[in-house]
């Protein structure tokens, strides 16, 4: 079985969110299961910097002009790179400039990703031809439309990582992109008078997945479907839509091997976590005391992530003499608010605006509780990292957070299945109550360690998830 992943990000080379972690880990896990898997990605500067040695495969005439395809290897996975510097040789984000303005030619840049992925099912590489193309998020959604236009030379699977991003472009671009005009209709690419690359994936894929079972259900509902709920319900009813939970790349995220930590630890030898905690307190300038309950946030500071709720709930944390370390960036008003709070309460709050991968590892290892109060969360990886490191997640009950975190309620504690703290409503008071319950459990060290041990024993390895995807690939080949 020859599988090609089409995507716009690849950790750690180019990452704006959890998508990059998935596209790095899933192909590696599938490779270990014996699948002949490769990946195609635009030739962004960060990709070439991480994969400097590539071979020329072919040159092809496209709607964007003559484009070369090159091939290299990264972490054992074969990588096709779309060599079109006039489209991709731009510093910073793959999607927008330094002023957060989307690039005016994004419609062409990401349609080309779909076109070139389709070409790998049509023989552009004489030595390898994709049988399954697995497209990730709107950036690669046009892959499915081009496959449909060419009568499906390969089967298509499309994974929604976040339905909130639609990839919307003016319908006038349709002819330029070499898409048949009859594709522009409600049963096709059209979405409220524009072209939606996300809808291209949803409508033309043989199979749709998303990154958790709960999120798969939520986005078929009117309140979270963004206008796609009817299409998704139809695909679900025809057994063409399901949720498969994301996993953790244990070669990168494991407290017993993590190279970013000052000392390693495991569920059976947990003392090293305390050393990571005091080292983190020292690094961020908080009072060093292993007995203080240390909360953490590693997140984009956005409305989706619910961090505005935390602003209003921090009184509970401060009054109970807790600490918070925050790493992230995002909406300017949230950044300003957390900066102000850190200035007012330097004994309790430390912030680092921006993103630092190594510091993220040290925070997740050193903290006691990860706060993830998202309004919606397709899967979430931070809570999975927290579980692996014995840092109990405190989450809102939504999407993948609901699928992975069991509240420390009395019944769950009695059954031994509690691994974190859950609140249900998008309300700062509810978040405050959950923070208070974390303090209550912290005051019972024996029970805390029991919950922590169970959390660290859970298996969210990518090899388990890869097997579920491979079964799905086989299903659509046989269908």
Structural domain contains residue 266: no
- Mean pLDDT taken over the chain: 96
Task: Provide the 10 A C-beta neighbour count for residue 65.
Answer: 11
**Same-domain status, 452 and 466:** no
**Same-domain status, 234 and 304:** no
What is the domain range of residue 134?
2-247+462-478
**Same-domain status, 222 and 292:** no
Half-sphere exposure for 64 (CA within 13 Å, toward CB): 22
Q: What is the pLDDT, as a whole number, of residue 225?
A: 95
- Cα dist. 340→201, 286, 360, 433, 465 in Å? 43, 16, 22, 24, 42
**Same-domain status, 171 and 280:** no
**Same-domain status, 126 and 229:** yes
**Same-domain status, 102 and 71:** yes
Structural domain contains residue 257: no
Tell me the CATH number at 97.
Answer: 3.40.50.2000
For 228: left if phi > 0, alpha if psi spans -120 to 50, otherwise beta; the answer is alpha
Structural domain contains residue 358: yes
**Same-domain status, 233 and 278:** no
**Same-domain status, 276 and 356:** yes
Q: What is the pLDDT, as a whole number, of residue 100?
A: 81
Structural domain contains residue 424: yes
**Same-domain status, 453 and 473:** no
Structural domain contains residue 256: no
**Same-domain status, 232 and 311:** no
**Same-domain status, 186 and 287:** no
The mean pLDDT of 162-171, rounded to a whole number, is 96
The residues that bridge with 157 in the sheet, in sequence order, are 134, 207
**Two structure tokens written together for 291:** 């007995």
**Same-domain status, 163 and 61:** yes
The mean pLDDT of 130-140, rounded to a whole number, is 98
**Two structure tokens written together for 464:** 């388990």
CA nearest to 158, candidates 143, 179, 178: 143
Structural domain contains residue 264: no
> Is the model more confident about 17 or about 370?
370
Distance, in Å, from the CA atom of 273 to the CA atom of 255, rounded to the nearest integer, reads 9
350-387 burial, b at 16+ Cβ within 10 Å, e below that, comes to bbbeeeeeebbbbbbbbbbbbbbbbbbbbbbbbbbbbb
Number of domain units in the chain: 2
Structural domain contains residue 411: yes
- Cα dist. 405→42, 110, 162, 369, 469 in Å? 36, 35, 20, 13, 23
26-72: pLDDT as tens digits: 999 999 999 999 999 999 999 999 999 999 999 999 999 999 999 99
- Does the pLDDT of residue 479 top 90, yes or no? no
Q: What is the pLDDT, as a whole number, of residue 220?
A: 97
Q: Coil, helix or strand for 301?
A: strand
Model pTM score: 0.91
């Amino acid at each position: 079985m020859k599988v090609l992943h089409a995507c716009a990000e690849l950790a750690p080379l180019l990452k704006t969110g959890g998508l990059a972690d998935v596209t790095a880990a899933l192909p590696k896990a599938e490779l270990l299961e014996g699948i002949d898997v490769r990946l195609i990605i635009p030739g962004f500067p960060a990709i070439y910097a991480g994969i400097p040695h590539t071979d020329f495969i072919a040159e092809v005439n496209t709607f964007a002009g003559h484009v070369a395809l090159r091939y290299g290897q990264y972490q054992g996975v074969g990588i096709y790179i779309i060599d079109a510097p006039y489209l991709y040789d731009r510093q910073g984000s793959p999607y927008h400039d330094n002023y957060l303005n989307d690039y005016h030619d994004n419609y062409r840049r990401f349609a080309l990703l779909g076109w070139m992925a389709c070409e790998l099912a049509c023989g552009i590489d004489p030595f390898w031809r994709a049988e399954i193309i697995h497209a990730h998020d709107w950036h690669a959604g046009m892959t499915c439309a081009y496959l449909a236009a060419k009568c499906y030379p390969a089967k298509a699977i499309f994974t929604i990582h976040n339905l909130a991003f639609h990839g919307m472009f003016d319908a006038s671009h349709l002819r330029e992109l070499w898409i048949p005009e009859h594709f522009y209709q409600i049963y096709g690419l059209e979405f409220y008078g524009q072209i939606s690359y996300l809808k291209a994936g949803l409508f033309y894929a043989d199979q749709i997945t998303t990154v958790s079972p709960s999120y798969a259900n939520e986005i078929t509902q009117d309140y979270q479907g963004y206008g796609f709920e009817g299409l998704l319900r139809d695909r679900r009813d025809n057994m063409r839509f399901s949720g498969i939970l994301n996993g953790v790349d244990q070669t990168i995220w494991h407290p017993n091997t993590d190279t970013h930590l000052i000392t390693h630890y495991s569920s059976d030898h947990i003392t090293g976590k305390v050393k990571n905690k005091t080292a983190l307190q020292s690094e961020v300038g908080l009072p060093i005391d292993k007995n203080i309950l240390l909360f953490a946030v590693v997140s984009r500071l956005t409305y989706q992530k619910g961090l505005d709720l935390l602003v209003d709930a921090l009184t509970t944390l401060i009054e109970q003499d807790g600490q918070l370390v925050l790493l992230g960036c995002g909406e300017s008003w949230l950044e300003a608010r957390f900066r102000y709070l850190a200035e007012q309460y330097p004994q309790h709050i430390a912030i680092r605006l921006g993103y630092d991968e190594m510091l993220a590892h040290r925070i997740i290892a050193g903290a006691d509780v990860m706060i993830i109060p998202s309004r919606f969360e397709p899967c979430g990886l931070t809570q999975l990292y927290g579980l692996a490191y014995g840092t109990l997640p405190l989450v809102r009950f939504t999407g993948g957070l609901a699928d992975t975190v069991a509240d420390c309620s009395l019944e769950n504690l009695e059954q031994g299945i509690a691994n974190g703290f859950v609140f249900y409503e998008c309300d700062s008071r509810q978040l405050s109550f959950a923070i208070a319950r974390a303090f209550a459990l912290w005051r019972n060290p024996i029970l805390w360690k029991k919950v922590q041990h169970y959390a660290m024993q859970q298996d969210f390895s990518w090899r388990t998830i890869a097997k579920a995807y491979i079964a799905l690939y086989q299903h659509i080949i046989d269908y």
